[in-house]
Structure 1
Amino acid sequence: MLKAGLTTGSGGNISCFNREKQYIAITPSGIEYPRLEPRDIVILHPDGTLFEGENRPSSEVGFHLSLYNRRRDINAVVHTHSTYATTFACLNREIPAVHYLVGFAGKKVPLAPYATYGTPELALNIAKTIENYNAVLLANHGVVAVGKDLTSAFNTAEEIELVARICYQAECIGKPVILSDEEMERVIEKFADYGPRGHNDSK
């Protein structure tokens, strides 16, 4: 996330869920990413109780657990404070389909209402907003991307930051043309069949 410019310091958090073994791995609270070692990662049971690790889990563990409970297709969560997506979040604006790559999230990137970070209220707001989207803006906060694995969740976070930048720059020049819901449905369908034969990766 640091190399891609999606966050700074220890900002944001990452988790993945091994549904077969019923363990959730999540980044710890307050440790900068370059300093992280495998032993620093916190392993939790699905109810949030500790299985292994000496550190406190991310302060946002609540919404990670909420997302895993909400949708069984989610096995990874990436939360960033990426600059352009967070700019839209601070404007309390969704990111529209200004570019077809918004399809990594869905027909748009919806906005979850503001709540203090690390609270049950924020977890509830995100879970209620996610529906069938793969990314959600958090008002005045950042962005959450989800996926079937860490690679797909990270790719979504990265592509949505690109779309947010494109939207920002287009609006600096004029009024961007927004793709229709019908076109986005076609794009999302094509994404599902993109990549090498036998794989359903969308990138």
Structure 2
Amino acid sequence: MYKTYQQQIVEYGMKILNSQHVAGTSGNISVRIGDENALAISPSGVPYDVMKPQDVPIVDLSGRLIYGELKPSIEWKMHTRIYQEYPSIRAVIHTHSVYTTALSLIRTPLAGITETLLLIGETIPVAEYANAGSEKLAENVVKALRNSKAAILANHGLVCTAESLESAFKMCEIVERNAKIFIIALSTGKPIHAIPKEEAKAAVKWLKENYGQR
């Protein structure tokens, strides 16, 4: 019944591992299950390269285990709160991407420096610090996601939300690449110029109407 969703967690666990968005067992992934108030979520402490579909637990939106044997990620509160607050979100990926985490240490939001980044949010905000796995972290992340599909977690990493794991993963790639560009630009010591607000709005509108195959 849940195998397709469990397989997706395994597949995208390997994607974030192989693309170096995480190391070891860090980070976590979830996907909402159809119209149910339930989600498949990566298990706590299981390496991605040995994880099997049957290792992936299914929990309800209160975090209660409803299928499987292993404990869910310690960040289950963050994942379930996101789904509760934003019903249109179907997938969440949390990474410890290097350049994005570097920005989190200096509490620097990622402004709209490229057009691709603008499709995620005018600015990728920094959620205030709270301990991993805490209700406070979940609350801070939900707040940061009000006007953006992604948020930087202070002293921690990145969270990306989307209608599918495929889209959430692409978002992680875009944010991390832009974080790298931003840090390189910062290292010059010269002013950084984001795309002006009005031009940014026009660019987003045009891209949504014209980019890709329709």
TM-score tier after normalising by the smaller chain length? over 0.9
Distance in 1 separating the partners of 2:205 and 2:19: 27
Distance in 2 separating the partners of 1:18 and 1:144: 19
* Alignment partner of 1:38 is 2:53: yes
Asked if the contact 1:94–1:109 (Cα under 8 Å) also holds between the matched residues in 2, the reply is yes
* Alignment partner of 1:141 is 2:141: no
Shift, 1:196, TM fit: 1.3
Deviates more, 1:176-185 or 1:162-171: 176-185
- Cα deviation digits, residues 147-180 of structure 1 (max 9, x gap): 0110111111110000000001111123222112
- Cα deviation digits, residues 170-200 of structure 1 (max 9, x gap): 1112322211222222233234333211xxx
* Alignment partner of 1:10 is 2:30: no
Asked if the contact 1:104–1:156 (Cα under 8 Å) also holds between the matched residues in 2, the reply is no
Instruction: Rate the CA distance shift 1:32–1:192 in 2: closer, same or farther, 3 A.
Output: same
Which of 88, 91, 94 lines up with 2:109 in the alignment? 94
Partner of 2:139: 124
Asked if the contact 1:16–1:149 (Cα under 8 Å) also holds between the matched residues in 2, the reply is yes
Shift, 1:86, TM fit: 0.4
Distance in 1 separating the partners of 2:82 and 2:200: 24
Q: What residue identity is the alignment partner of 1:179?
A: I
Shift, 1:98, TM fit: 1.8
- Cα deviation digits, residues 93-113 of structure 1 (max 9, x gap): 111112222224200110110
Instruction: Rate the CA distance shift 1:52–1:172 in 2: closer, same or farther, 3 A.
Output: same
Q: What residue identity is the alignment partner of 1:6?
A: H
Q: State the aligned residue count.
A: 197
Any idea what SS the aligned residue of 1:188 has? helix
Q: What residue identity is the alignment partner of 2:29?
A: I
Structure 1 stretches lacking a partner, 5+ long: 198-203
Deviates more, 1:51-60 or 1:181-190: 181-190
Residues 39-54 of structure 1: pairs in structure 2 closer than 5 A = 39-54=54-69
Q: Please report the RMSD computed on the Cα atoms of aligned residues, expressed in angstroms.
A: 1.3
- Cα deviation digits, residues 102-158 of structure 1 (max 9, x gap): 224200110110000000010001111110311001111101000011011111111
Q: What residue identity is the alignment partner of 2:165?
A: L
Residues 72-91 of structure 1: pairs in structure 2 closer than 5 A = 72-91=87-106
Distance in 1 separating the partners of 2:201 and 2:34: 29
Aligned-pair identity in percent equals 33
Which of 35, 39, 43 lines up with 1:20 in the alignment? 35
Shift, 1:34, TM fit: 0.3
Any idea what SS the aligned residue of 2:110 has? coil
Distance in 1 separating the partners of 2:145 and 2:88: 12
Distance in 2 separating the partners of 1:71 and 1:181: 26
Distance in 2 separating the partners of 1:89 and 1:65: 23
Q: What residue identity is the alignment partner of 2:79?
A: H
Q: What residue identity is the alignment partner of 1:167?
A: F
TM-score normalised to the size of structure 1? Answer: 0.92
Residues 101-116 of structure 1: pairs in structure 2 closer than 5 A = 101-116=116-131
Distance in 1 separating the partners of 2:62 and 2:88: 18
Instruction: Rate the CA distance shift 1:190–1:78 in 2: closer, same or farther, 3 A.
Output: farther
* Alignment partner of 1:29 is 2:50: no
Any idea what SS the aligned residue of 1:79 has? strand
- Cα deviation digits, residues 10-61 of structure 1 (max 9, x gap): 1100000024133200000011100110001110122221111111100000
